[in-house]
Structure 1
């Protein structure tokens, strides 16, 4: 019974911390656009697309001349 006097306030403190973290997450828009993260795994964005592109046809024509 004496342990309840310690455990109940600790549980209330943990609940208050969890609610505060949840409110912070909502206010800082952590839950906005949740679908984008799911699609990021499926579709790869190539930032260095200029490096991986094959040479254009114009450069092939110039080399033949």
Structure 2
């Protein structure tokens, strides 16, 4: 399985969730965590999980009125 190493904040941004939600998701799935040289924890996220489409928000303010 191919993985990508991301911080919880990066994972959250990629999935459209909060960093705290991303951390809970990583714990729930048991994804491997390592401490980076910068002191930030990084999670090995399966690439397939990052390719999942996010739902489109219904409160799009860019739509013409």
Q: What TM-score, normalized to structure 2?
A: 0.23
Higher share in strand? 2
Higher share in helix? 1
